[in-house]
Amino acid sequence: MNDIEKIISEAVSETLKESGISETPNKVMSINEAYVAEAGQFELNTELLSSKTKKAHKELLDGYVKKLNNISANLDSVDKTSANLNNSVFRSLKIDETYNHNAAFLHGLYFENISDVNSTISMDTISYMRIARDFGSFDAWQEDFVACCLSARNGWAVTAYNMHLQRYVNTVIDLHSQNVMTGIFPVIVMDCWEHSYYRDYLKDRKTYVFAMMKELNWSVIEKRVKKADMIAKVLRS
Amino acid sequence: MNDIEKIISEAVSETLKESGISETPNKVMSINEAYVAEAGQFELNTELLSSKTKKAHKELLDGYVKKLNNISANLDSVDKTSANLNNSVFRSLKIDETYNHNAAFLHGLYFENISDVNSTISMDTISYMRIARDFGSFDAWQEDFVACCLSARNGWAVTAYNMHLQRYVNTVIDLHSQNVMTGIFPVIVMDCWEHSYYRDYLKDRKTYVFAMMKELNWSVIEKRVKKADMIAKVLRS
Amino acid sequence: MNDIEKIISEAVSETLKESGISETPNKVMSINEAYVAEAGQFELNTELLSSKTKKAHKELLDGYVKKLNNISANLDSVDKTSANLNNSVFRSLKIDETYNHNAAFLHGLYFENISDVNSTISMDTISYMRIARDFGSFDAWQEDFVACCLSARNGWAVTAYNMHLQRYVNTVIDLHSQNVMTGIFPVIVMDCWEHSYYRDYLKDRKTYVFAMMKELNWSVIEKRVKKADMIAKVLRS
Amino acid sequence: MNDIEKIISEAVSETLKESGISETPNKVMSINEAYVAEAGQFELNTELLSSKTKKAHKELLDGYVKKLNNISANLDSVDKTSANLNNSVFRSLKIDETYNHNAAFLHGLYFENISDVNSTISMDTISYMRIARDFGSFDAWQEDFVACCLSARNGWAVTAYNMHLQRYVNTVIDLHSQNVMTGIFPVIVMDCWEHSYYRDYLKDRKTYVFAMMKELNWSVIEKRVKKADMIAKVLRS
């Protein structure tokens, strides 16, 4: 920023503070930092997955994060003037940025919301009430979510707060970045790539999905739903 | 909801209100209602697109919304027990739901943020400052955004607040639902399907993009950025 | 080839000649040469498309061929040891090679098989008989082919001899390389990207498709079907 | 066929016979029959894959064939007049027809060309010579093919005779039907979905690929290459 921008920026910052909108801190997290900030916390306690599957799966995540950071660095110096839809280095990097970005964050959300061996959901949680409100009942959500899990072609099933529709939806993602809804804030994420279950369940994805759903970490999900509730409030304001 | 749920729901609602989190109203908008609520406001004043292009484009949007509502209605009665990744009515509907959902909302956002014949952006807007912060400078954003526009294979370029990374990003979407980042709140949307420019500019997408960017509606964008700022605040809380 | 390979190669070549299988000439056409060999022959006589559409469309084809040759040249020197599914220069080039390859050859086949202002198909052609045999009747093919044209999401409808099934099939391709059947030898090709019709027909793809089908060049198609017939013979041998 | 068609058909058939082009027999194989005709022959002798992987993999193939036949039957009675690119039963069936068609035939070709415990390739085979001719050397092909195997995002690597280019090419397919070249006759097929190796090799796809390549069934491949050679002759005629 040059001087004039700085002065204006500071003035606006002041105004925002007065009107209660605190400004985003100047320091922008890079893709890497943002991810790393959440990384260390995945303890996969479940015995419903073998330790080999769990170890390999975490290594896959590491691979995605590493690629994401490589791509991010390459984008910093890529020639943008030759960007082209049929073939260009810029396009290829942008496409793979999205692929690895989604892979990294969906895996993070997934690891965080599975394998709670003491999994319980009580009817007085916001999660329960929002799900019941938007899917008719908790059971209806569950049936629909399982159907999504069985419909992904190596991909993901996601329950998300949809900011366009201002309600929760279930969606089916193929691979990491195909058939993805815009404007979604994911709250429940299930990995349905073969790498999540093939070592332990072979082609029986259904048994894997039911196993994971028995151990969903509802306290983690509740935190996300509370944020979604506040986002909902922002959107209606 | 049965009685016990209702009682709990009311209790929680009370608690939320006290802690300043107002509860989402019970009435859930259907996909159709959510969309229709925003629909009537697109006045395409620009003379940089022919009236034929503008008329046909609005009809395309109507088509997407109609399909989205059909799909939504069909999903209500589809057999979920036979959901299957290789082929099932459920999977096909879910995939096309996302396709038409994105088509509808991206078109809505696009119509709303183009064709302001008095387009101006001043440096003391939040839009300007956030863009400058996250892309290095306003010019750097512009160069990157144009590169995205030229890289979409019949698709979209989108500047969005990325809720995972807590910063703005530019992304390239193919068709309506391929290469879509999860967790994005779109603030600037450019249609790069051939139907947006071929009648008027033939294969010269670049001239079309520059024309549209001259008339971006920054007051519409500013409203979105302000919401994104409040969402950012929620995410950091 | 080293010396020993050369000697064996010549011996085998001799044997092949004796058994009636003439060897492929040593000179391998590059992607560029193969394409250029067919290029000059597209005379678009039709008045059902504007001259602007026809000119721009040929320029698009030139663009694909140029990109295909660039990619092909880049592949010659790319690092293959770092090939990787999440992101690598090799992968990006291979994916775009297929995209531009299909774009180039499908466009070539399309230009060649449309715009015969004296279009006729007689019932004693192999084309007519094969189509009638594999689709039940010529009319049934036509109805199915039109349905394919209306189903492509910016893409192609193709009638092809399917070498796996040893029969003709109609297929729907999205963009240039999605939903493509393996083992197909295309004989009738219809461009259903918006760039083929939007200048002249706006969003009315149906009228465009009917216009093109009135002027299909059946003598070009007959030559392809005759080759397919001989391929069929090879496959059954 | 009505009477007049029959008479013409017989006359043409006569002419074809005289000119050495024998007519395709009237009986058209359905998708199911075509597949079943090749089915029984996969003996997976290899010890480089566990019996669990081999059994599950064959069951997957059965699943694809069953779906393909269901889809084929549904297409017989689908409403074609409502075919539509945004959403229609016809489009969904056609897209999934291609997906399951490729899945079925690629799996068939893969099972047939792996697990020859006595695998050898001699330099005087047509396979060896064609590969050396079109890739520079056998080693160069191998390096390129492995790079393709490592680049597929859950998908396939395929060496195929490309009928447009009249030469062999290596290609990378994602899932079953994305990034597929038109006009290819596959001769060497490697499954790179996680289901082919995850049970036995976890995420180490490279070791799986090298294991499979050690036991390629070159006598099966040679038969395919000989057919491709005759197809090449047809195309040059």
pLDDT at D10: 52
Chain C nearest-CA distance from D118, in A, is 23
User: Per-residue pLDDT for C78 more than 80?
Assistant: yes
Average pLDDT over residues A83-93: 98
Which of D179, D196, D222 is most worth mutating to test chain C (most C CB atoms within 10 A of its CB)?
Answer: D179
Q: Residue C67, SS3?
A: helix
User: Per-residue pLDDT for A33 more than 60?
Assistant: no
Alpha-carbon span B187 to B223, nearest angstrom: 9
pLDDT tens, position by position, C152-172: 999 999 999 999 999 999 999
pLDDT at A138: 96
Mean pLDDT across chain A, nearest whole number? 87
Asked if D180's CB is within 8 angstroms of C177's CB, the reply is yes
Alpha-carbon span A236 to B198, nearest angstrom: 37
Chain C hits for B154, Cβ within 8 Å: 154, 175, 193-194
Asked if B103's CB is within 8 angstroms of D87's CB, the reply is no
Asked if A34's CB is within 8 angstroms of B164's CB, the reply is yes
Chain D hits for A198, Cβ within 8 Å: 194-195, 198-199
Q: Residue C130, SS3?
A: helix
Alpha-carbon span C192 to C213, nearest angstrom: 13
- Cβ of residue B153 closer than 8 Å to a chain C Cβ: yes
Going by pLDDT thresholds of 50, 70 and 90, the confidence category of residue D145 is very high
Average pLDDT over residues D34-41: 48
Query: C167 near C195, Cβ under 8 Å?
Result: no
User: Per-residue pLDDT for B139 more than 70?
Assistant: yes
Chain B nearest-CA distance from D72, in A, is 12
Query: C129 near D23, Cβ under 8 Å?
Result: no
Chain D nearest-CA distance from B227, in A, is 31
pLDDT at C28: 42
Q: Give the lowest-confidence range in C8-12, C158-162, D135-139.
A: C8-12
Mean pLDDT across chain B, nearest whole number? 87
User: Per-residue pLDDT for A36 more than 50?
Assistant: no
Q: Which of D87, D99, D103 sits opposite B96 (nearest CB)?
A: D87
pLDDT tens, position by position, B160-201: 999 999 999 999 999 999 999 999 999 999 999 999 999 999
Going by pLDDT thresholds of 50, 70 and 90, the confidence category of residue A31 is very low
Q: What is this structure's pTM? A: 0.89
DSSP chain B: --HHHHHHHHHHHHHHHHTT-PPPPSPPPPHHHHHHHHHTT-----SSS-HHHHHHHHHHHHHHHHHHHHHHHHHHHS-STT--SSS-HHHHHHHHHHHHHHHHHHHHHHHHHS--TT----TTSHHHHHHHHHHSSHHHHHHHHHHHHHH-SSEEEEEEEETTTTEEEEEEEETTTBSPPTTEEEEEEEE-SGGGTHHHHTT-HHHHHHHHHHT--HHHHHHHHHHHHHHHHHHH-
Q: Which of A59, A153, A202 sits opposite D199 (nearest CB)?
A: A202
Copy the structure tokens of residue C126.
């192999």
Going by pLDDT thresholds of 50, 70 and 90, the confidence category of residue C42 is confident
pLDDT tens, position by position, B32-90: 444 444 445 578 989 999 999 999 999 999 999 999 989 998 999 999 999 999 999 99
Chain A hits for C93, Cβ within 8 Å: 87
pLDDT tens, position by position, D198-219: 999 999 999 999 999 999 999 9
pLDDT at D17: 54
Q: Which of C59, C153, C193 sits opposite B194 (nearest CB)?
A: C193
CA D18 from centroid of its chain's CA atoms:
33
Q: Give the lowest-confidence range in A199-203, C150-154, D72-76, D217-221.
A: D72-76
Alpha-carbon span C125 to C128, nearest angstrom: 5
Asked if C64's CB is within 8 angstroms of A84's CB, the reply is no
Going by pLDDT thresholds of 50, 70 and 90, the confidence category of residue C10 is low
Copy the structure tokens of residue A25.
């801190």
Residues of chain A above pLDDT 90, percent: 77
DSSP D9-52: HHHHHHHHHHTT-PPPPSPPPPHHHHHHHHHTT-----SSS-HH
Average pLDDT over residues D120-130: 95
pLDDT tens, position by position, D77-95: 999 999 999 999 999 999 9
User: Per-residue pLDDT for D38 more than 70?
Assistant: no
Asked if C181's CB is within 8 angstroms of D124's CB, the reply is no
Chain D nearest-CA distance from B67, in A, is 7
- The residues, any chain, with a CB within 8 Å of residue A16's CB and separated by 6 or more, are A22, A23, B126
pLDDT at B10: 52
| B182 vs D17: which has the higher pLDDT | B182
pLDDT at B5: 43
Going by pLDDT thresholds of 50, 70 and 90, the confidence category of residue A194 is very high
Average pLDDT over residues C105-112: 95
pLDDT at A127: 97
Position B4, amino acid? I
Asked if D92's CB is within 8 angstroms of B96's CB, the reply is yes
Going by pLDDT thresholds of 50, 70 and 90, the confidence category of residue D5 is very low
Tell me how far apart the terminal alpha carbons of chain A are, to the nearest angstrom.
32
Asked if C202's CB is within 8 angstroms of B202's CB, the reply is no
- Touching subunits of C (3+ CB pairs, under 8 Å) are A, B, D
Going by pLDDT thresholds of 50, 70 and 90, the confidence category of residue C237 is confident
Chain C nearest-CA distance from B50, in A, is 11
Asked if D203's CB is within 8 angstroms of A198's CB, the reply is no
User: Per-residue pLDDT for C12 more than 50?
Assistant: no
pLDDT tens, position by position, D175-184: 999 999 999 9
User: Per-residue pLDDT for B25 more than 50?
Assistant: no
Alpha-carbon span D24 to D61, nearest angstrom: 29
Residue pointed to by tokens 């994971």: A212
Going by pLDDT thresholds of 50, 70 and 90, the confidence category of residue C46 is very high
pLDDT at D222: 98
Residues of chain A above pLDDT 70, percent: 83
The interface residues of chain B toward chain D in range 85-104, judged by CB-CB distance below 8 A, are: 86-87, 89, 92-93, 96, 99-100, 103
